[in-house]
Structure 1
Amino acid sequence: MALALTVLSACGLSRTGPNKSEIFAGAVERGGNAQVIYVNDHVTRTANFAPVYGFSNSFLGASQIGADEIRPGDVLGLSIWENVDDGLLTSLGSSSTSLQEIQVDSGGYIFVPYAGRIRAAGNSPDELRQIITERLSAQTPDPQVSVTRLAGNGATVSVMGKVMSQGVYPIERPTRTLSAMLAGAGGVSIEPEIAVITVKRGNEQGKVWLTDLYGSKSNDIALRPGDIILVEEDQRSFTALGALMGQTRVPLGNEIINATEAIAMVGGLSSALADPTGVFVMRDEPESVASRVLGKPVYGSQRMVYVLDLTRPNGLFLARDFLIRDGDTLYVTEAPYVSWNKSLAAITGSVTSADTVATFGD
């Protein structure tokens, strides 16, 4: 027996990770580099926050663009009829002429012979028709003008990422909003609960959950030419380790999850192993949050170890109120009797093995 105890003291028994005393030994008060804090009502109030996605006022306040508005990059076609035999633009014996593929320049202008340089951008085809007609009327009697849009390269958006059909799409009357454009691209190709939509416009960008896009009309923003729409799978997750029924990386999706739910998501505590007084949530806390939790100023991000004792009278309520965040590690220690049972089993096994060897020797 003495030999077995010596062997056990030299060789560590297998276990799921550090025990409670080893974690507490890493506290700042004991020379470590982690802030070990028992969760109470103050901690749940100061440490809890959920990531909020959304669009800025400039996105939310943008009105829908007119589907027929001319923009830089558009290609126009002009047809002009003159009420004379030998007109300004028509050839002898012809009463009309066509000017095809007139591209609106980057400043928004086009050039029309005898009418000069005309600002086309911002006008509808009919408004541009009236402007050209007025310009030509001073030089030819009763001109008739027709303006058509041949291509609308200036009014497009790019849709990329986890959609059924990536590509460049024109902003048309049915697809002037974000949700309509996504539908025009065939919808998302991933589960809606984990889809995040990012819209980039110039130097700005906004982000929203797909479920929030359909759940709130204000998030269904009007699109602008040149917008880039990116659909991605949410990557937020936490890691569950220790004396739990499952040890794995768990995606958070767009849910707000508390510690009780996080434990349930991996099957709960292991009844054969877990110590309900040793439930730990480990994270790097930003300076502002850490200062509020600790009640004193600290500098730089802090390694925080939040302790949940589920056996306390309000332990389950505190676990229910404590939110899990992206990158958290949920760790549950083994109960002290588990280590004792392992030690006893190892000793018993060693003695039994020795007796078995002695029996074979005889």
Structure 2
Amino acid sequence: MTQTTRTPIARLALALMPLLISGCAYTTGIQSVAQDESQWYGEGGPEGEGGAPPEIIPINPETLLEMRRKQVQEGDDGERTFQERMEEYQYRVGPDDVLNIVVWNHPELSNPMGQFQDIEQMGQQVSKDGTIFFPFVGEVRVAGRTTGEIRETIAEGLAPYIESPQVGVRVVAFRSKKVYVTGKVNEPGIQPITNVPLTVMDAINQAGGMQTAGQGGGGSGGGGGSQSYGADQRTAILTRDGQQHRIDLLELYSTGEGNRLLRDGDVLYVPDNSDNKVFVLGEFNEQSSVLMHQGEMTLAEAVAQAKGFDSEAAYAYGLYVIRGVPQETEEGGAPRIKPKVFHLDARAAASMVLADQFQLQPRDVVYVATSGLVRWNRLIGQILPTVRAAYQLRILSEGFDIE
């Protein structure tokens, strides 16, 4: 019986056959995220715990409608509360405010220093303990009270000395209450709270508006960076009583909703827009991080910024937006982020209409998958160097008669 002798090349080919067969199964390109979720999350965590599968949502008209409906409902609730507070607003006097008090037909009480005085000099500054002194009435506590309440108190005090006293009270210098506007605004500084309600929009406008890229000098984090970012036109941070609240500037300036009434001691910070980026990865013609324009960007705009799909490598069925959603944890526990994956079949040109309606959020990852043929070619490209090296070794061994 004749025994067949296999060359090293033949033996290597037989050894690589299972890998090639498994490569064929892996690189068909038919499976999607929805069909094989294990591609998108870990089989095991650092302690051997299984990863939670991401939430996968198709981008279709129903999804877009539901997202808009949630935004409208949240805005309506906040708008009603804001309008109620605006209608109920009354300025309450505080220490260091200056009051001008007039008693009609009694100039000796209204302006004892004469007619030609500066209006602030004519007034009375509220002391640190919240009181003022008025003739015939004595010490009057005014801090925490409205001008109407102060007028009634003074009129009652003058009644024993003046028949039907007509008293007028107004604040001529607002010094007790203030807010701080900082960050990427043209004129950061202190703004007084007056008898006119001060809102987030008012405070930013009074600070000269938000800076654009190139204004104010400096980059996002110092260190002499050459890139200068403009203001984040999507989000501002309001610090009140030690708690931070995010203000949706995008919604505020586009619809007027989400405005908030500012209070004494509030700090309003407008950050730069260095975090307002989306990351375009996968088989695009240009992979990059893309800065959102005025805090907004649609999926279609992100695709266009990347100069479209790579026509030879992209698998247009697999266009995904990956978004990290913070999860509530127990107190003291490590923060967790659960990925939410939005999927769009972009093979048809009409799908870009849906992409143009899908609003991205900062730090979203836009990813397009690789076609099966390209994945197969890349796998072969990784195997061929090993085959070539074995073949060269065989040639050398034959040339030197190595047994």
TM-score bin, normalised by smaller chain: 0.5 to 0.7
Matched, 1:255 2:293: no
Residue 314 of structure 2 is aligned with which of 274, 279, 283?
274
Matches within 5 A, 1:1-362: 24=36, 26=38, 33=51, 34-35=53-54, 39=58, 41=60, 44=63, 48=67, 52=71, 55=78, 57-63=80-86, 71-76=93-98, 102-103=125-126, 109-112=131-134, 114-121=136-143, 122-124=145-147, 128=150, 132=154, 135-136=157-158, 138=160, 151-172=173-194, 176-190=198-212, 191=230, 194-199=233-238, 207-217=246-256, 223-233=262-272, 235-252=275-292, 254-255=295-296, 257-258=298-299, 260-284=300-324, 303-311=339-347, 324-342=360-378, 347=384
Go from structure 1 to structure 2 and tell me whether the alpha carbon gap of 1:65 and 1:72 turns closer, same or farther (over 3 Å shift). farther
Go from structure 1 to structure 2 and tell me whether the alpha carbon gap of 1:242 and 1:51 turns closer, same or farther (over 3 Å shift). farther
* Cα distance between partner residues in 2 of 1:337 and 1:312: 20
Q: Tell me if structure 2 keeps the 8 A contact 1:110–1:119.
A: yes
> Which protein has the bigger strand share?
1
Go from structure 1 to structure 2 and tell me whether the alpha carbon gap of 1:134 and 1:218 turns closer, same or farther (over 3 Å shift). same
* Cα distance between partner residues in 1 of 2:40 and 2:254: 45
Q: Tell me if structure 2 keeps the 8 A contact 1:48–1:322.
A: no
Identity %: 23
Go from structure 1 to structure 2 and tell me whether the alpha carbon gap of 1:42 and 1:303 turns closer, same or farther (over 3 Å shift). farther
* Cα distance between partner residues in 1 of 2:350 and 2:102: 83
User: Which amino acid counterpart does residue 44 of structure 1 have in structure 2?
Assistant: T
| CA offset digits 1:188-239 (Å, max 9, x no partner) | 1245673423445669876544454344456565554444333234545443
* Cα distance between partner residues in 1 of 2:358 and 2:236: 28
Go from structure 1 to structure 2 and tell me whether the alpha carbon gap of 1:324 and 1:10 turns closer, same or farther (over 3 Å shift). farther
Go from structure 1 to structure 2 and tell me whether the alpha carbon gap of 1:311 and 1:192 turns closer, same or farther (over 3 Å shift). same
Once the two structures are TM-superposed, the CA of residue 71 in structure 1 deviates from its matched residue by 0.9
Go from structure 1 to structure 2 and tell me whether the alpha carbon gap of 1:134 and 1:281 turns closer, same or farther (over 3 Å shift). closer
Go from structure 1 to structure 2 and tell me whether the alpha carbon gap of 1:327 and 1:115 turns closer, same or farther (over 3 Å shift). same
Q: Tell me if structure 2 keeps the 8 A contact 1:64–1:177.
A: no
Once the two structures are TM-superposed, the CA of residue 279 in structure 1 deviates from its matched residue by 3.0
Paired residues, number: 325
* Cα distance between partner residues in 2 of 1:38 and 1:123: 54
* Cα distance between partner residues in 2 of 1:157 and 1:76: 19
Q: Tell me if structure 2 keeps the 8 A contact 1:157–1:228.
A: yes
* Cα distance between partner residues in 2 of 1:57 and 1:327: 31
Once the two structures are TM-superposed, the CA of residue 269 in structure 1 deviates from its matched residue by 1.2
Once the two structures are TM-superposed, the CA of residue 281 in structure 1 deviates from its matched residue by 3.6
Go from structure 1 to structure 2 and tell me whether the alpha carbon gap of 1:63 and 1:44 turns closer, same or farther (over 3 Å shift). closer
Q: Tell me if structure 2 keeps the 8 A contact 1:197–1:231.
A: yes
* Cα distance between partner residues in 1 of 2:169 and 2:11: 100
Q: CA RMSD in A?
A: 5.7
Go from structure 1 to structure 2 and tell me whether the alpha carbon gap of 1:74 and 1:150 turns closer, same or farther (over 3 Å shift). farther
SS in 1 for 2:204: helix
Once the two structures are TM-superposed, the CA of residue 7 in structure 1 deviates from its matched residue by 11
| Structure 1 portions without partners, runs of 5+ | 13-17, 91-97, 288-299
Once the two structures are TM-superposed, the CA of residue 168 in structure 1 deviates from its matched residue by 1.5
Higher-RCO chain (CA-CA 8 Å, sequence separation at least 6): 1
Aligned position for 1:94: none
Q: Tell me if structure 1 keeps the 8 A contact 2:298–2:355.
A: no
| CA offset digits 1:76-108 (Å, max 9, x no partner) | 377999x9xxx9xx9xxxxxxx998642567x6
